[in-house]
Amino acid sequence: MIFAWLSIVSRETMKHAFSRRSRNVLPFYRSSCIMMHRSLSIRRCLVPMSHEDYMLEALSEAEKCFASFDVPVGCVIVDASGTIIGRGRNRREYGQDATAHAEVEAIKDACTHTHSWRLDGCTLYVTLEPCPMCAGAIMNARISEVQYGAREPNTGCCGSVLNLFWERFPYRPKIYGGILAEASQNMLDRFFGGIRNNAAKSQNRNL
Ligand SMILES: [Zn+2]
């Protein structure tokens, strides 16, 4: 009896999760349903996603960058209710657009979704420390909190080169770093390792 009811609940939940209107909350339902099947506990299916869960979503966006030979950086924006309202990935090479960084793409997506440029109360998850352009976009969008993964020693503006968020700007979000930093860094190493290997192979062919 319980199994039959659970099966109906999960079928209805998945149907809703895959409908077009709810595509942005799919990750929540997906992980919830996995948890429900694992534990057969309805209570646990209502457990909200953690910072790590959201960063995994950002990492899944970053993974898509490999197809266009873009540096793998991914981003998601989450509103106060825990729903993902914006997604972005680095598409600089794909679009030949210097401003197509993951954070800017996610902010545009979230603004489109909410019909507002004000993203107060939202948290931005990005796999790599934001650059000056993205730090500026984050402040302009009034994002309340930033969670980033790996440090960016060349352009990072959360303390690596400088901390723009400590300057006397009128709007300053809370900044937290190091969420799944190793996974983010490993993905970057895999990307740059692949480029080096391909360069070495073509050099050997030309000898
Ligand atoms: Zn950037």
Residue 131 alpha carbon to ligand 1 centre in Å: 4
> pLDDT tens digits, residue range 87-126?
999 999 999 999 999 999 999 999 999 999 999 999 999 9
pLDDT tens figures, 142-160 = 999 999 999 999 999 999 9
Distance 129 CA to ligand 1 centre (A): 8
> How much distance in Å is there from the Cα of 130 to the middle of ligand 1?
5
At 42 the pLDDT is 36
103 is catalytic: yes
Is residue 101 a contact partner of residue 128, using CB atoms and an 8 Å limit?
no
pLDDT in tens, 152-186: 999 999 999 999 999 999 999 999 999 999 999 99
User: Which residues are within 8 A (CB) of 72 and not within 5 positions of it... i.e. 6 or more apart?
Assistant: 62, 63, 65, 66, 89, 90, 127, 187, 188, 190, 191
Note the pLDDT of residue 195. Answer: 80
Q: Centre a 10 Å sphere on the Cβ of residue 16 and count the other Cβ atoms it contains.
A: 13
Q: How far is the CA of 106 from the centre of ligand 1 (A)?
A: 11
Task: Name the catalytic one among 57, 103, 105, 152.
Answer: 103
